[in-house]
Structure formats: C-alpha cells, structure tokens
C-alpha cells in the first residue's frame, strides 16, 4: 500500500493546528461521568453501543448498561467471572459477549448473564485475558489462552484453531471482504512500526500500524509514525481520508459519521470545525465515537462530549466570569461582570475597573464607535476597553436605567427612573435636555421606532408619543396584557417595523395592527426574559431567559404573524448556566453571557439531526414485589389479585436526555383508560380491573419534536376473578335457574295444596252452614205446610187438602233424597224450586204468581251443580217479605237463570212487593 499527501494539505494542517493551539476559544463542552452518576467504577476499559441503543461500559469494578439516564450494573453477583471487564461485543443474535480479567467467557441475553454454570458449552472456551471478539456467520473468533487464534461454532459447539505463522499475545479483529482478520496488537508485542494482518489463508507484514476504530470495527485506522500521517480505510482498501500531523503527541485518530477526531496528550481536536476539547487524561485513555457524541474512557471516569456547536472559553478560578453584559472589540470578547470589572474572556484577564461608586449595571450601548454603560449614579464611556473609562458626570443627573440611540445625529436618550424621567443627551456638546419629568412615573426603558414614535416603559406600563424632541406633552398607554401588568425591560424593532417588547411575562410583538404574545405557555422556556436579539437576515429572534436560550422563527401568513421554535439551548447542551443575562449576535455566531461564564454558539442555524428515540418497557414489580421473570415472556397473564403493577422503561436519548418528555397511554380492551406524563423511570398502576391491557410510551424532545419514538405495545392480561369467568357465570346462572324453578314449583305446589285445603275447609264450612239453614228450613217449612193442610181441612176443602198433601209429600221426598248430597244439578234444583213455589202459591191462595226465565240450554242445566237448598231461602223471603204483604195488588215474582261472563251462574229474583223499610232479614 502506498499513500500520498499533497504539500498544500500538509502546510494547511500545520497552520491550522498552530492557530488552534494558540487560542482558548472554541473549546468543546463536555460532561464527566463518575461513580456519583452511577458508574460501577471510574477506571474505564471499554465501551460500545448495542443494536437496541444501550451503551455498555466496562470498568474495573463491573459492567454497566446505560440508557442515557440510569446505569444498570452487573458484577460477580450477577454472573460475571470477574468484575474487571476489558471488552464487550454484540453478535448478530443480540448476545452481549463479555471478556473479563479471566479465562472464562460469558454473555448477556434477555435480562440475564450466562456463564459456564448456567450455559455449560462455555466451559469449552478458554480465552486470553481481555480477549477481543468478533462473530461471522455463527462463528465466534477469540484469542485462546494458549496464544492461538480460535473460532467457536455457536451451533455445533466445535472449536477450530485458525492457522497462523506466528503465535501472538493479542489480536484485534475486523471484517474485510467477507473474512475475519486479526490484527496483532503492537502494545502487547512491543512493536511500534509493524503489525501482522492475519486471515485464515493469508498472513503478511506491513510497515503501518493498523487498528479498528472502536467501537466501529468496520473502519480501520492506519498510522505511519515515521512519516507522521494517518488515514482511514474501509477494510484494507486505499484510504478514503488522509491527514498529516506535526505534533508527535498524537495518540490516536477516530472517524465516525464524517467527523474526525485527533487525540493528543491533553486535548482533542475535532477536525471539521477545528473545535478543541482540553482535558488531561491518562495514557490509558481511549476515544470512542458513538452516533453524534464521543467519549473519552480514562482511569478517572468517562468524559461525555455531545459535539454540538455550543463552545466555551477556558476559565480561570481567579477571574469573576459571572457576566452581566458582553461586547466585542478588536476581535476579542469582553464581559462586564457584577463586580464592575471589564474582563478579556479569551485571555482571562481583568483589564479595567469602573469607579468604586458604580452601583447597579443597567444597560450597555455601542454608539458612534464608543461603548456606554449606565448605572445608578453615572454614565460611563470608553472606546477601547483596555484604556481609560470616562465617567460622564457632566450631565448633573443620576440613576441612568437605560440608554437608547436617537435618529438625531450625535444624540441618545436615557431613561432615568423617577423625577427626571427621560433625557436627550448630545454627545458632542455634553448637554442634555429634559423631555419628561413626571414624579409619578419611573421610566426604565426607551426606544425610538422607524415611524418617529418614542416608546418608553415604567415598572408596569408602556407608553408612546409622536411629539418628544421639544418635550413630551402627552403620551398614550399601550397595554401589553390587560389581565395582569408586566414589566417591560427593553423595546426593539426589526427591519419590517415589527416591535418587540422584552418583559417578565414573555415577549410581545406588535406589527402595527395585531399584538402577539410569546411566552412559556406557548414557545419560550421561561417567562422571565432578559434580552431579545433580532436576526432579520434569518427571520428569527433570540430570547435570553432565566431558564435557557430560545430561538424563535417568525413569518407572515394571510396577514398574520406566525411563530415557531427553531432551537433551544440549556446547561445540559453545554451552556455554563441556564441563567442568561446577555446575548450578542455576530454573523453566524452567537455569544452568550451567563452568570457562570460565556459560551459561543458557533452555528446559529444548528438544530439536532433527526434521530429515533428507542423506548423499551418491562414489568419490574407485582404488588410491590420485585419481579424479573417476565423479561422474555411475550404473553403476560396475571391473576386478578396481582393487579398492582410497577412498569419500568428506558428511553434512549443521549443527546438531550434532560429535555426528554415521556407520555404513557394505557388501554383496556382497546379503550384508553389512562393518559399521563411520566417524570421518573417507572410507572405505577394500582387496583387494575380485569381485562386485556396495552401500554404504549411516547418519548420526544420537548424542544425538537421531530426527535421522538414510541415503545412496542406492552401487553398484559389481568384475569377475571372466578366469579367473573364464563364457566362460573353459566354454572351460577344454571344453578339459579334450577333453584328458582324448584322454589317456584314448590311454592306453586304449596299454594295449590293450601288452596285445596282452604277450598275443602270452605266447602265444609259452607256445607255446615247449608245444613244449618236446611235444618232451620225443614221444620219451618213442614210446620207451614201442615198449617196449610189444616186450613184446607178446617175450610172443609177436602180436594184442596188432598192435592196440597200430595204435592207436599212429593217435595218432602225430594228433600229427603237430596239431603245426602252436598251439590245438586241446576236442572233438579229448578224442578225442586218450582214444586216448592207451587206449594207457596197454594198456601197463599194464589195471591201471587211466578215467572221462570231460564236462559240456559239443557246441557248447562245438567252440567252446572250448586249447593242444595241454596236458592230456596231467597225465594221464601221474596214470598214472605215481598208479595205476601200485598192486599189489593196481586203479587208477582220473576226468577231468571243465566250465565255471567260465560262462566259464572247468575240468578236474579225480583218481586213487586213493598220495600222492607230498612229491616234486615235472616
């Protein structure tokens, strides 16, 4: 292999490197991870990211799996053969192979670690301590403890020694053209300029040092220490990138996703943007680039750098970097801190000091090539921060709250709080004119817009006027928030005449017709805004708040301004602090002053690349008891009394984990039953009803919603209690039906039996009553009949007596025959009644007659039975108390037999006798 590098490129690299090393600017920001964050140990040996997105970190004190928030630790207690983990590798089946400070190999899969005890086939494999690993088509390559390069067939369990011309202590592995290549580790063999490249059928020497770009073993780093250059190769083809280096301290170079890092003894350079990370790390430090971030593994912790263009200056502990205002002069960045010192941020030097009576810094204005500072007592002016700062006490006024330029040449406005509220100052003649002096107003900020209107604010109101150079005679109030007063700190205008009001209640925008509010409820990270910088070139504006930096885009649509979030930055993105006091836009850079120092946003258009956010869910506890048995079960069914669940989850978002929002949606039988925001790393559900459940978690960056992801639906079933099962319901229903039917039949039988008993009792009672009546009627009837016969005999009516006696004897025979029967047919009863009434007519000498109306057919007469002697007493009463008392009028009785409602016998007896006059008869 032969590589060439142009002289131009070498010269450019040398010049660029010298520029980088002579300045402290553009330092990458990073975060240090240690045991306090959850690492099992601070001495880091290896790391890699698996196919699910988890980052695995091997330390001297154990292995951990990092999900961007929490560290899950594995040690000997979990199955590791040794706590010192030297290498981690994932094969094509998702097994995480772990090489420790031990000859025993183990792997992690589906929530547990497998070793020689629970996976006996691992007893066949004896590795060299810290062996690197690689898998190809089901065969695992490793360094055997005897120095050989072996491969283990994961399907057959056979071990094959790969032929080699020489035994070596340790191999690094890569894949090239479908083959596995072992690269001799020069650190182990003591070779600095030569590495042996081995495959199963090839072995050769090279004058270059090769090394896989861990954890991406597909890319090979090629270094020529003698000629001081390096390159990157895909496999062992010609380099796709080459670079010369001049500093002999170069330890390594890393390539990933188009970014190139050079690692030196105490700093790292990102070549594309020439960013520098200054950090001292041990000789065992190694750089790992994973996705958009890179990590420096050291013996004292893990450095985590997101590589976003939020840069910082190296700060000295002796300098107060709590910036109040910042400005640029002569290509350098300066701040005014809260000690009234002027600091050169790059050099970390105090270059000037305001007077001792300087109190309360309010405003910094760059005007006519000079800088003006307003304080409670004086105005200060300087052209060069390294030279004298003038005290403009010639005005005779104090309490300068705000300074704003005037469209009138050589003039600017000042807001002076109470008493003398607004001044117009001539910078040439050193004179000032009072424009407003109202004791009740305390003016804080002031601004002259493009329409020649002067705007000014007090502690709770905003006013404007179009007549002011000769004094402000009248002003109009401009109400920002009619519901609650807000404090307007500054006012600005873009090139289209839109006014921007910076307040403690957000930012208000006025386009001449409509007023818009941008606040925490809509787009901002906080309502307490300190400054707004308008970027007219990019149709956006920056808002500095007490809780982060916001970039808002705006545009006009159908005559209405529309606003949208373009980007947000916080301490978690690399800012020194979330509390931002001042910002300064300079071309494509934004300088950011915080209460802990200064940052540089090197690309104002920066937005994170779109990336999916993997979300994984697992059942961690049931009824508050820890559970690990459901990690590999696809269908989870729980008894009804195991319905208090703790469900853990991992959302893998390493770029901006602090800004991740997670929402949980729980469905029961395909209906949404719970929706809530999740703040921790688990969700508790209590007293779940039976049913089929599905839990879906949605994760998204709350500032960049296009970065999002959701979990695979986590499904589980809460079984119904036995009394809700179909078999119990059917069995219970059948049992209820049987019992109900039995009770109904028993009750019906009982009621029928009781009815029969009652009927029998009533019959006996009726029979007794009837017999009583009969026993009363017969003697009475016989007595009356005998009297009638006696009357015939007395009157010597022998024939009448004989006829009456004959009829009487027939009737008595009928009575005697029927006396043994309780019931008699209606036909026989009517015949009996006719015989009886004939005797009564004879007895009363034919003083009345009787008519029989029988509305029944012969069949009814024979089928209907009634108690004997039932009707006779009624007819007797009709005769005795009705027609017998008539003197001059012949009596008449009508007897009607018929059916009522087709099934009841109706008997009607009428007579023409006189009413009884209220008498009652038995």
The β-bridge partners of 404 are 413
Q: Which residues pair with 100 in a beta bridge?
A: 85
What would you report as the CA-atom Rg of the chain, rounded to the nearest whole angstrom?
Answer: 56
Question: What are the pLDDT digits (tens) for 784-795?
Answer: 777 777 777 888
pLDDT in tens, 88-112: 999 999 999 999 999 999 999 988 9
- pLDDT tens digits, one per residue of 785-831: 777 777 778 887 788 788 888 888 888 887 777 766 778 888 888 88
pTM assigned to the model? 0.75
Q: What confidence score (pLDDT) does residue 822 get?
A: 74
**How open is the CA angle 425-429-433, to the nearest 5 degrees?**
35
- Residue in the block written with tokens 């409670």: 376
pLDDT of residue 21: 42
DSSP secondary structure string, 719-752?
Answer: PPPGGGSHHHHHHHHHHHHHHHHHHHHHHHHHHH
- pLDDT tens digits, 423-466: 999 988 888 899 998 877 889 999 999 999 999 999 899 999 99
Residue 7: per-residue pLDDT:
37
In order of 391, 504, 544, the CA distances from 343 in angstroms are 19, 28, 21
Look up the CATH number of domain 615-722.
2.60.40.10
Kindly indicate the confidence band of residue 570, based on its pLDDT and cuts at 50, 70 and 90: very high
Residues of the chain with CATH 2.60.40.10: 615-722
550: nearest Cα among 497, 592, 598? 592
Window from 14-18, 540-544, 568-572, 871-875 with minimum mean pLDDT? 14-18
331-601: CATH architecture: 7 Propeller (2.130)
Residue identified by tokens 């005769």 is 879
Residue 817 tokens, joined: 């025959």
For the beta sheet containing 645-651, the strands, ordered from the edge strand earlier in sequence to the opposite edge, are 625-626, 615-622, 645-651, 682-685
CATH topology of domain 28-243+281-312: Methylamine Dehydrogenase; Chain H (2.130.10)
> Please, which pLDDT band fits residue 478 given cuts at 50, 70 and 90?
very high
Closest CA to 879 of 835, 906, 913, 855: 913
**Alpha-carbon span 524 to 528, nearest angstrom:** 10
Per residue in 283-320, is it b (16+ CB within 10 Å) or e — as a string? eebbbbbbbbbbbbbbbebbbbbbbbbbbbbebeeebb
Residue with tokens 């119990």: 728
SS3 content of the chain, % helix, strand, coil (to 5): 20, 40, 40
Tell me if 510 sits within 8 A of 493, measured CB to CB. Answer: no
pLDDT of residue 10: 36
| Residue of 522, 557, 528 whose CA lies nearest to 543 | 528
In 452-528 the beta strands, taken as DSSP E runs, fall at 454-457, 462-465, 476-477, 488-493, 499-503, 506-510, 515-518
Three-class SS state of 915: coil
Distance, in Å, from the CA atom of 205 to the CA atom of 197, rounded to the nearest integer, reads 7
- Cα–Cα distance for residue pair 549/775, rounded to 1 Å: 121
The Cα–Cα gap between 151 and 500 comes to 69
| pLDDT tens profile 588-634 | 999 999 999 999 999 999 999 999 999 999 998 999 887 765 655 56
Mean pLDDT along residues 764-768 = 67
Which residues of the chain are in CATH 2.130.10.10 domains? 28-243+281-312, 331-601
- As given in the structure block, the two tokens for residue 807 are 């009829």
Q: Is 453 exposed, middle or buried (0-12, 13-18, 19+ CB in 10 A)?
A: middle
């Amino acid at each position: 292999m032969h590589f060439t590098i142009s002289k131009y490129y070498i010269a450019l690299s040398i010049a660029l490197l010298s520029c980088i090393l002579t300045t402290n600017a553009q330092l990458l920001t990073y975060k240090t991870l240690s045991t306090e964050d959850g690492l099992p140990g601070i001495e880091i040996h290896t790391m890699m990211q698996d196919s699910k997105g988890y980052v695995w970190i091997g330390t001297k004190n154990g292995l951990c799996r990092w999900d961007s928030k929490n560290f899950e630790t594995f040690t000997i207690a979990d199955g590791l053969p040794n706590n010192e983990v030297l290498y981690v590798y994932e094969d094509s089946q998702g097994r995480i192979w772990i090489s420790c400070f031990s000859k025993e190999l183990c792997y992690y899969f589906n929530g547990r670690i497998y070793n020689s005890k629970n996976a006996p086939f691992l007893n066949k494999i004896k590795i060299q301590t810290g062996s690197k690993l690689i898998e190809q088509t089901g065969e695992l390559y490793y360094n055997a403890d005897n120095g050989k390069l072996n491969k283990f067939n994961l399907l057959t369990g056979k071990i094959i020694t790969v032929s080699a011309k020489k035994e070596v202590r340790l191999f690094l592995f890569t894949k090239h053209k479908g083959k596995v290549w072992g690269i001799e580790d020069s650190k182990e063999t003591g070779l600095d300029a030569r590495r042996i490249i081995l495959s199963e059928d090839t072995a050769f020497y090279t004058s270059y040092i090769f090394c896989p770009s861990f954890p991406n073993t597909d890319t090979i780093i090629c270094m020529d220490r003698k000629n001081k250059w390096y390159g990157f190769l895909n496999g062992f083809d010609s380099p796709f990138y080459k670079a010369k280096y001049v500093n002999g301290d170069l330890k390594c170079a890393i390539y990933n996703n188009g970014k190139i890092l050079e690692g030196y003894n105490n700093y790292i350079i990102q070549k594309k943007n020439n960013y520098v990370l200054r950090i001292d790390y041990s000789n065992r430090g190694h750089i790992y680039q994973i996705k958009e971030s890179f990590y420096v593994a050291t013996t004292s912790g893990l450095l985590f750098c997101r590589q976003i263009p939020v840069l910082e200056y190296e700060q000295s502990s002796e300098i107060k970097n709590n910036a109040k205002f910042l400005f640029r002069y002569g290509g350098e960045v300066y701040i005014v801190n809260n000690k009234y010192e002027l600091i050169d941020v790059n050099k970390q030097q105090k270059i000037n000091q305001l007077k001792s009576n300087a109190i309360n810094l309010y405003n910094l204005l760059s005007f006519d090539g000079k800088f003006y500072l307003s304080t409670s007592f004086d105005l200060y002016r300087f052209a060069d921060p390294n030279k004298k700062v003038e005290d403009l006490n010639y005005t005779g006024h104090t309490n300068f709250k705000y300074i704003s330029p005037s469209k009138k040449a050589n003039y600017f406005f000042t807001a002076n709080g109470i008493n003398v509220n607004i001044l117009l100052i001539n910078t040439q003649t050193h004179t000032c004119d009072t424009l407003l002096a109202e004791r009740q107003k305390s003016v804080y900020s002031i601004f002259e817009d493009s329409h020649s209107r002067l705007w000014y604010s007090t502690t709770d109101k905003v006013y404007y006027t179009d007549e002011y150079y000769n004094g402000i005679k009248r002003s109009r109030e401009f109400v920002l928030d009619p519901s609650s007063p807000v404090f307007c700190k500054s006012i600005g205008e873009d090139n289209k005449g839109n006014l921007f009001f910076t307040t403690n209640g957000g930012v208000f925008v006025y386009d001449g017709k409509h007023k818009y509010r941008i606040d925490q409820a809509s787009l901002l990270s906080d309502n307490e805004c300190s400054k707004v910088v308008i970027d007219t070139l990019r149709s956006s504006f920056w808002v500095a708040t007490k809780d982060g930096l916001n970039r808002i885009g705006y545009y006009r649509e159908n005559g209405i301004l529309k606003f949208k979030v373009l980007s947000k930055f916080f301490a978690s993105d690399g800012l020194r602090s979330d509390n931002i006091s001042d910002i300064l836009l300079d071309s494509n850079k934004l300088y950011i002053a915080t209460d802990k120092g200064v940052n540089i946003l090197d690309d104002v258009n920066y937005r994170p690349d779109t990336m999916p956010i993997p979300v994984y869910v697992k059942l961690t506890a049931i009824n508050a008891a820890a559970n690990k048995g459901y990690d590999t079960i696809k269908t989870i069914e729980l008894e009804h009394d195991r319905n208090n669940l703790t469900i853990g989850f991992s959302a893998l978002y390493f770029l901006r984990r602090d800004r991740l929002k997670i929402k949980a949606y729980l469905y029961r039988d395909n209906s949404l039953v719970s929706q809530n925001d999740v703040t921790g790393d688990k969700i508790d559900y209590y007293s779940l009803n039976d049913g089929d459940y599905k839990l879906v978690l949605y994760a998204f960056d709350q500032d960049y919603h296009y970065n999002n992801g959701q979990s695979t639906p986590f499904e589980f079933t809460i079984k119904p209690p036995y009394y809700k099962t179909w078999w119990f319901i059917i069995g219970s229903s059948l049992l209820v039906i049987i019992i109900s039917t039995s009770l109904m039949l028993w009750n019906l039988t009982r009621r029928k039996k009781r009815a029969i008993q009652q009927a029998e009792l009533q019959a006996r009672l009726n029979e007794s009553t009837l017999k009583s009546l009969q026993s009363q009627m017969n003697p009475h009837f016989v007595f009356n009949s005998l009297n009638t016969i006696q009357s015939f005999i007395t009157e010597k009516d022998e024939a009448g007596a004989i006829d009456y006696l004959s009829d009487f004897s027939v009737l008595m025979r009928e009575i005697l025959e029927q006396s043994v029967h309780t019931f008699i047919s209606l036909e026989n009863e009517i015949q009996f009644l006719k015989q009886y009434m004939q005797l009564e007519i004879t007895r009363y000498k034919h003083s009345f007659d009787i008519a029989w109306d029988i509305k029944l057919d012969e069949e009814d007469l024979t089928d209907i039975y009634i108690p004997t002697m039932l009707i006779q007493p009624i007819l007797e009463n009709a005769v005795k108390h009705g027609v017998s008392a008539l003197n001059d009028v012949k009596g008449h009785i009508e007897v009607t037999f018929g059916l009522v409602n087709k099934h009841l016998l109706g008997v009607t007896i009428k007579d023409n006798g006189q009413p009884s006059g209220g008498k009652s008869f038995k």
